Amino acid sequence: MQLNKRKPVAVSLALATSALLNQTAAAAEDWQVDTGLLIYSESDSRVSATEPVISVTRNFADESSVSARLTLDSLSGASPNGAAVAAIPQTFTSASGIARLQKAEDDDDDDEIEEYGDRAYYVTQAGDTPYDENFEDNRTTLSLSWLRPLDNGFKLNLGGAYSTEGDFTSYSINTALSKDLAQNNTTLSLGVNLEFDEVAPDSGIPQPLTSIIAADTASNTDTKQVTDLVFGITQVMTRRWVTQLNLSLSQSSGHHDDPYKFLTVADQGNLIEDPNDNGLDGVTTYLYLYEHRPEDRQKISLYLQNKVAVFSNDAVDISYRYMTDDWGIDSNTFDLTYHLDVAGQFYLEPHFRYYEQTAADFYTPFLELGTDVSMSGTEINALVDYASADPRLGAFSATTYGMKVGVPLFRSHELSLSYEAYQQQDKNSYRETAAGSDLDGQDQFAELSANWIQVGYSFRW
């Protein structure tokens, strides 16, 4: 936002230090409304999403404020199911498709039976990345926040969020306390966030590391709890330079498995027929096991941001984040944005982001019979505690290039448009397979390519 209204000093500092509190203070009593629309799409007809959002903030004369944000999110498309790419076609049963078909049959709903009859099974052709095409969800998120100045330069923020989608519900509450020091040149902050999530897939929670055909369910629902702590310092360094350093600690306990993801079990690089196969006539169904992740995850991240004014109306924003967790994932994120004022009429913001992460210890593109899984008759036992082929837990780097155009309009109104293009690059070491086998020479990581457009309109009155 670039509003032409000059603000008093106290407000400007609040603006500069409000990132942790996720609030923007105002000079006088007014309303601020921010609206936006995100249109997101991935290449290869993977996920596409449309996401409108509206945020309304009421600013009071005592610099306290209340705000509410509503986000709607509509997603559909295909998502990698975790199975390895093979040189032969693969037929998958879709747990969610079967569950919906079952329900449609119970309800005697012909339309639904027709719709889901084709979705219960799907075929991936030789050499193609196996995708579950049935991915479809609508999400609604409501978040509320209240900021209040206290005595002696302290500010208190209280907030909460509720998010719901077909198979997932999340509740969170947070509080942050900040203190201005050194003639408002330094702000110290401490924030706590508590989150409670419940996952409830249509087909139940699969028994981890068991055959997807057996379709054993551990329960109907499961939960996890997340606690986040953020310590921050914001410092005005010079007349042109403000910097922020945040240290974040996160503890997540409970169910982390993705109920829709599984892994191929290979024997010397060849797919194995599932001994429990009692499904489709004339179709070979191979052995895939549901993934499993540890019940606990601890993360630490360090975030450093610098914002430097250039000339009288430009600015450069450089940030770096380091994250490490006890799943073996380390990541580096570098972000650079330049704010270029064009003759006081509008502004441009070219953006570059580079991200890289190492793989989780239990990430693997497939499981190997003998080392990772044992099989005797129809008895299948995982020899590993945890395993996932989810590309999000693999090693990759990613670059984003973006551009935003913002046009200040009459009386504190602003219209903006931005475009971002995102591309991942595989950085996993190749898991060797026997020459000439089904998996030999096939891609072991589905690099994601995505782009998105955001339109924003903001105003005050």
Partner 1 sequence: MKTLIPLMVAALLFSGCANVKPWQRDLLAKEHMALDSDPLRSAFNDHIYFSKEASSGGRGFGGGGCGCN
Q: Which of residues 132-161 bind partner 1 (CB under 8 A)?
A: 137, 139, 141, 161
What minimum distance in Å lies between the beta carbon of 40 and partner 1?
7
> Nearer to partner 1 by C-beta: 102 or 332?
332
Binds partner 1 by CB under 8 A, chosen from 313, 399, 428, 437: 313
Binds partner 1 by CB under 8 A, chosen from 100, 155, 293, 307: 307
CB 74 within 8 A of CB 61: no
Question: What string marks each residue from 81 to 110 as x (binds partner 1 by CB under 8 A) or -?
Answer: ------------------------------
DSSP conformational letter for 13: H
> Nearer to partner 1 by C-beta: 182 or 435?
182
- Verify binding: residue 15, partner 1, rule CB under 8 A: yes
Residues 420-449 that bind partner 1 (CB under 8 A): 420, 422, 424, 448
What minimum distance in Å lies between the beta carbon of 427 and partner 1?
13
**Calpha distance 252→328 (Å, rounded):** 15
Total residues contacting partner 1 by CB under 8 A comes to 109
- Verify binding: residue 253, partner 1, rule CB under 8 A: no
Of 185-193, 209-217, 266-274, 286-294, the segment contacting partner 1 by CB under 8 A is 185-193
Q: How far is residue 412 from each of residues 3, 86, 206, 453, 457, measured CA to CA in Å?
A: 5, 57, 52, 23, 11
Select from 458, 461, 332, 360 the least CA-distant residue to 54.
458
**Calpha distance 12→180 (Å, rounded):** 13
Select from 453, 281, 250, 288 the least CA-distant residue to 367.
288
CB 194 within 8 A of CB 227: yes
Binds partner 1 by CB under 8 A, chosen from 329, 382, 387, 446: 329
**Calpha distance 210→154 (Å, rounded):** 53
Binds partner 1 by CB under 8 A, chosen from 41, 55, 91, 399: 55
CB 67 within 8 A of CB 111: no
**Calpha distance 8→18 (Å, rounded):** 15
> Nearer to partner 1 by C-beta: 2 or 207?
2
- Verify binding: residue 59, partner 1, rule CB under 8 A: no
CB 257 within 8 A of CB 208: yes
Of 81-89, 169-177, 284-292, 433-441, the segment contacting partner 1 by CB under 8 A is 169-177
- Verify binding: residue 360, partner 1, rule CB under 8 A: yes
Tokens standing for residue 284: 């070979």
**Calpha distance 447→428 (Å, rounded):** 11
Of 88-96, 272-280, 298-306, 425-433, the segment contacting partner 1 by CB under 8 A is 298-306
**Calpha distance 6→11 (Å, rounded):** 10
Tokens standing for residue 9: 């000093």
Binds partner 1 by CB under 8 A, chosen from 416, 433, 442, 444: 416
**Calpha distance 415→407 (Å, rounded):** 5
Question: What string marks each residue from 392 to 411 as x (binds partner 1 by CB under 8 A) or -?
Answer: xx----x-----x-------
What minimum distance in Å lies between the beta carbon of 395 and partner 1?
10
CA 13 to chain centre: 31
Question: What string marks each residue from 216 to 245 as x (binds partner 1 by CB under 8 A) or -?
Answer: ----------x-x-xx-xxxxxxxx-xxxx
> Nearer to partner 1 by C-beta: 147 or 380?
147
